[in-house]
Amino acid sequence: MNERSLLELIPRSVLNVDKPPGMTSNDVIIGIKEIFNLKRCGHTGTLDKNVTGVLIVALENATKAMPVLMGLDKEYEGTMYLHKDIDRKKLEKVISKHFVGEITQIPPIKSHVSRKPRKRRVYFFDILEKNKKNVKFRTKVQAGTYIRKLCSDIGEKLGTGAHMKELRRTKVGHFKIEDSHTLEEIKERLEDEKFLRKTLIPIEKAIPHVKGVYVKDSSVSSIKNGAPVSSSDVIEVQEGIKPGEITGIFSQKKELIALGISKTSSKMMLNKKRYAIRTDRVI
C-alpha cells in the first residue's frame, strides 16, 4: 500500500485517545473535530465523565468501520471501595467463584440500554493491592460489561456493599494505553507530520481482527458502487471466514474498500459459481 498524503490519511484513520477526567466521551469527539476540522467522528465505547483512558475515535470515512471496532474486549485498572473491611482471601474467593467467567449483569439505571439481565464474560478480575477498604484491581471483560455495576455487585455478594472509586481503561482490543495520546498533545503537535503519521492509525491497521478477501483491480469500481463480491472477483482469501461474518474487502494494494457480509466460507470463496460477499459499507 503506497503512503498516502496526510489529507488522504486523516479521513481513513482512527485515533487512540487518552481521555482525561472531567470530559465526556462526546467532549473528546468535539475536540477532535475542531483539531482536524472534520464533519464526522465517532467513538467506539463510552467512558464515564470521570473515567480515564483508551477511547478509540474514528475519523470521517473510518466511522463506517465502527461496527467491527465496537465489540472489542476491554481491560481496566481501578480502585473499588469496600463499605466494610474484609479479609483479602475471602474477597478473592468470592470474586473467583461468582465474578470470573460468564456472569449475568443488569445494566445500571443511568445506562442507555435496556435494563434486562444479560450474559457477559469476565476473563479475569485480579486484586493488585488491598489497603483496608481500598482495593486496587485489574480486569479484562467482554464489551458491554459495566465495571461500576460489577463493583457494586461484588459488594452485594460480600454483604458489605462496595462502589467503584477510580477507573482507567488500559486496553481496547489491541489498542493499548501506552500508545495513546491526549487531546492536548495532538493539538500541540498538529504541524508535526512525523508525529501525525505515527498517531493516525490507518483503518487497515486498526482492524487486524477482521478477516478479509482481496479482489481484482478491475472489480474495485463496481464494489465501491455497492455491487456484491462474486467469487470471480476474488484473488485471495484469508482462512477462517464463516457465512454471515463481517468481512473486509481489500484491493490488491491492500487498501480497505468496504466491509461486507460473507455468504459462504473461506473454502468456498473461490468457487467461480458462488456469490461470495454482500457489500455492506463502502469505505
pTM for the predicted model, two decimal places: 0.91
Give the CA count within 13 Å in the CB-facing half-sphere of 39.
1
Four-residue CA torsion sign, 135, 140, 146, 152: negative
Cα torsion through 252, 255, 258, 262, rounded to 10: 50
Active-site residue flag, 233: no
- 74-172: CATH number: 3.30.70.3190
Tell me which H or E stretch contains 14. strand 13-19
Q: Where in the chain is the domain with CATH 3.30.70.3190?
A: 74-172
Name the grid cell of 265: 466460507
How far apart are alpha carbons 250 and 237 in whole angstroms?
A: 10
Marked catalytic residue, from 27, 48, 179, 280: 48
Q: Where in the chain is the domain with CATH 2.30.130.10?
A: 212-282
- 6-71+175-206: CATH number: 3.30.2350.10
**Residues of the chain below pLDDT 70:** 1-2, 110-113, 272-273
How far apart are alpha carbons 50 and 147 in whole angstroms?
A: 13
The CATH T-level fold of domain 212-282 is 2.30.130
Question: Which of 102, 138, 104 is closest to 121 using CA atoms?
Answer: 102
pLDDT of residue 41: 95
